A and B are shown apart, each in its own frame.
Chain A
Amino acid sequence: MTDEPRFEHPPEERAPSYLAESHSLRSWFFTTDHKRIALLYLVSITLFFLIGAGAAALIRLDLLTPQGDLLTNDGYNRAFSIHGIIMVWFFLIPSIPNVLGNFLVPIMIGTRDLAFPRLNLLSWYIYILSGLLTLYVVVSGGVDTGWTFYTPLSSVYANGAVVATIVAVFISGFSTILTGLNFIVTIHKLRAPGMTWSRLPLFIWSHYAVSIIFVLATPVLAITLLLVAAERLIGIGVFDPRLGGDPLLFQHLFWFYSHPAVYIMVLPALGVVSELITAAAHKRIFGYWFVAFASIAIAVIGFMVWGHHMFVSGQSVFASAVFSFLSIAVAVPSAIKVYNWTATLYKADVAIDAPLLFALGFIGLFVAGGLTGLMLAMLAIDVHVTDTYFVVAHFHYIMVGGSVTAFFGGLHFWWPKMTGRLYNETLGRIAAILILVGFNITFFPQFLLGYQGMPRRYHVYPPEFQVLHVISSLGAALLAVGYAMPAFYLLWSLLPGGRRAPANPWGASGLEWTTSSPPPKHNFIAQPVVVRQPYDYPLAHPASRDDG
């Protein structure tokens, strides 16, 4: 997207957009329109992102000096706990599915809304309820268990607002379960005529896969957290050995949810990147079925790898070997996707726009995070680097470098569709590059720190680690600027006088680009009928050919 859009559909029949339907507060807070609910989520997760980022800023400032001059030991524990809890459950998990997925799933399959629109709104209210409870935890002194709530720390020794936090996460789980249920039913039942499974965009396949995880994994977390609360409040013996329980059982149950939760964060990102790559390359994706089934394979195999979090916990060596093998196996479908994206870009006349830059950044960071994940899946290496900054760097490469970068890429790509406005493309490219550079300066030193033995969750450390910590903190400042930039130029584009977006500013295929920007309330003026394969480039529409 340069100064002028390179692609333009002919003027189509006009219908009032979903944004122009009504402007009252009631029309927003009681809406059942999936597009408006997506925007409610966008605002909400952005606020939680700011709180989580504030906690991260405290952590990085504190780590500038080896003595931990800024925070007390307890304060540091609470800072990283709140950072993890908010970023995982209140930003990363809902980010792509609830914002981009909510907005796009019905439009991409050619229907007017999700299968259960009121359930969709309820999902947002449940999310807000759990978020408010988490904010209560923040202002009432916080929690010091880390986001993992390991027993017996959480059930016996921790003295923060553990039960309140557990209840908050428990409630938020219902929000994601309802979203998953809604997506599964919508994708099965509401596809437009002609939208067969082989014609589904890969974004839909990845959201289908993530919905399976939502529905099947989240209840296990809810039950597990309830058991911790029950043990803490009424002393039933599930995890406490003194009461006949087993602390490792908590880790098994927690990671049965929480490792798939990593795929909850990554799978939608993979779907976004498939869309960005094909749109930039203007080519059909290389190996459609491999990419589609890789999503399902990741969702299924991802349920069988949780024990790699427990290699040094006292888990049996045989179980560790089994989990090690399965963890290595899950890399195969992930690698298939990366190879296929690369093959799609091969010899393509790519448009180097901000969404592609985000997508390329994603691929690089995802590969680095994935390969270090393979290292951690191997028993011998994992024992050496367990609970060090190597692990911290690895999962930030996947969850932040991967998922957040893809979220930003998707937000840029579909911003014209969501708002009907074009943002400043030059600033978009600068932000994409700044985020990539800032991210690597922040987190690559943490691989080195971890390999040299810097443990995670400590804020007092030997002076020889200070240089790398200072580099990491400086990178975090750069990253913060990169993340803040889109907030300004995207909001700027909404001001009166901002450039209007045509229906298809990228010349991309997909039903969402056949309707106006922003779409009308019911997405399409007439029921679309699908007659072509997905990513059917060059576009059939005569006015959509590349004129740039």
Chain B
Amino acid sequence: MSGAVRLLLVWAALMALLALTVGAAFLPIGMAKPWVAYAIATAKAILILWFFMEMRRESGLARLAAIAGFVWLAILIMLTATDYLTRRWIM
């Protein structure tokens, strides 16, 4: 498969996932709604990392650097959530 065709297919997959995100917003799934959106967003991020950011061709060191970005994002979200999720514990 040529590079251009591959990129077009990945782009089409991203568009399909976008449509899925919009569609999922109308489903009557209550509290699960944001988690479905997060799951679709994660799939999009993986596609972008793997194909558009060329992680599939990179060395272990570059992949480690990319993973580090997500670890740091996890630190940001986790410790911020430590505040938001526990505000009602002690009034």
A-side residues, CB < 8 A to B, are 188, 212, 216-217, 220, 248-249, 252-253, 256, 303-304, 306-307, 310, 315-319, 322-323
Q: Is the CB of B82 within 8 A of A319?
A: yes
Q: A322 CA to B89 CA in the complex, in Å?
A: 14
Closest approach, in angstroms, between the C-beta of A302 and any C-beta of chain B? 11
- Give the residue of B69, B79, B87 whose beta carbon is less than 8 angstroms from that of A307: B79
Contact flags B59-84 to A (C-beta < 8 A → 1, else 0): 00100000011001001100110111
Closest approach, in angstroms, between the C-beta of B83 and any C-beta of chain A? 4
Q: A371 CA to B10 CA in the complex, in Å?
A: 54
Which A residues are in CB contact (< 8 Å) with B32?
Answer: none
Q: A248 CA to B86 CA in the complex, in Å?
A: 14
Q: A317 CA to B85 CA in the complex, in Å?
A: 11
Q: Is the CB of B87 within 8 A of A304?
A: no
Which B residues are in CB contact (< 8 Å) with A319?
Answer: 79, 82-83, 86
- Give the residue of B75, B82, B84, B86 whose beta carbon is less than 8 angstroms from that of A303: B75
- Give the residue of B68, B75, B82 whose beta carbon is less than 8 angstroms from that of A318: B82
Q: Is the CB of B89 within 8 A of A318?
A: yes
Which B residues are in CB contact (< 8 Å) with A322?
Answer: 79, 82
Closest approach, in angstroms, between the C-beta of B71 and any C-beta of chain A? 9
Which B residues are in CB contact (< 8 Å) with A317?
Answer: 86, 89-90
Instruction: Work out how many contacts link A and B, with CB atoms closer than 8 A.
Output: 47
Which A residues are in CB contact (< 8 Å) with B79?
Answer: 304, 306-307, 319, 322-323
Q: Is the CB of B90 within 8 A of A252?
A: no
Q: B68: nearest residue on chain A (CB-CB)?
A: A216
Q: Is the CB of B83 within 8 A of A248?
A: yes
Which A residues are in CB contact (< 8 Å) with B69?
Answer: 216
Contact status of A303 and B83, CB under 8 A, knowing A188-B61, A316-B89: no
- Give the residue of A249, A303, A307 whose beta carbon is less than 8 angstroms from that of B72: A303
Contact status of A316 and B86, CB under 8 A, knowing A322-B79, A323-B79: yes
Which A residues are in CB contact (< 8 Å) with B72?
Answer: 216-217, 303
Closest approach, in angstroms, between the C-beta of B85 and any C-beta of chain A? 8
Closest approach, in angstroms, between the C-beta of B80 and any C-beta of chain A? 5
Q: A310 CA to B80 CA in the complex, in Å?
A: 11
Q: Could you say which of A212, A220, A253, A319 has the most chain B C-beta atoms within 10 Å of its C-beta?
A: A319
Q: Is the CB of A315 within 8 A of B83?
A: yes
Contact status of A220 and B76, CB under 8 A, knowing A188-B61, A315-B83, A322-B82: yes
Which A residues are in CB contact (< 8 Å) with B68?
Answer: 212, 216
Closest approach, in angstroms, between the C-beta of A341 and any C-beta of chain B? 29
Which A residues are in CB contact (< 8 Å) with B90?
Answer: 316-318
Contact status of A256 and B76, CB under 8 A, knowing A216-B69, A316-B89, A317-B90: yes
Q: A252 CA to B72 CA in the complex, in Å?
A: 14
Which A residues are in CB contact (< 8 Å) with B61?
Answer: 188
14 A-B contact pairs sorted by A residue (CB < 8 Å): A248-B83, A252-B80, A303-B75, A307-B79, A307-B82, A315-B83, A315-B87, A316-B82, A316-B89, A317-B86, A317-B90, A318-B86, A319-B82, A322-B82
Q: A315 CA to B72 CA in the complex, in Å?
A: 21
Q: A256 CA to B77 CA in the complex, in Å?
A: 10
Which B residues are in CB contact (< 8 Å) with A252?
Answer: 76, 80, 83
Which B residues are in CB contact (< 8 Å) with A220?
Answer: 76
Which B residues are in CB contact (< 8 Å) with A304?
Answer: 75, 79
Which A residues are in CB contact (< 8 Å) with B82?
Answer: 307, 316, 318-319, 322
Q: A216: nearest residue on chain B (CB-CB)?
A: B72
Which B residues are in CB contact (< 8 Å) with A188?
Answer: 61
Which A residues are in CB contact (< 8 Å) with B84?
Answer: 316
Which A residues are in CB contact (< 8 Å) with B86?
Answer: 316-319
Which B residues are in CB contact (< 8 Å) with A212?
Answer: 68
Which B residues are in CB contact (< 8 Å) with A253?
Answer: 76
Which A residues are in CB contact (< 8 Å) with B75?
Answer: 303-304
Which B residues are in CB contact (< 8 Å) with A303?
Answer: 72, 75
Q: A315 CA to B84 CA in the complex, in Å?
A: 8
Closest approach, in angstroms, between the C-beta of A544 and any C-beta of chain B? 37
Q: A303 CA to B84 CA in the complex, in Å?
A: 18
Closest approach, in angstroms, between the C-beta of A11 and any C-beta of chain B? 42
Q: Is the CB of A307 within 8 A of B83?
A: yes
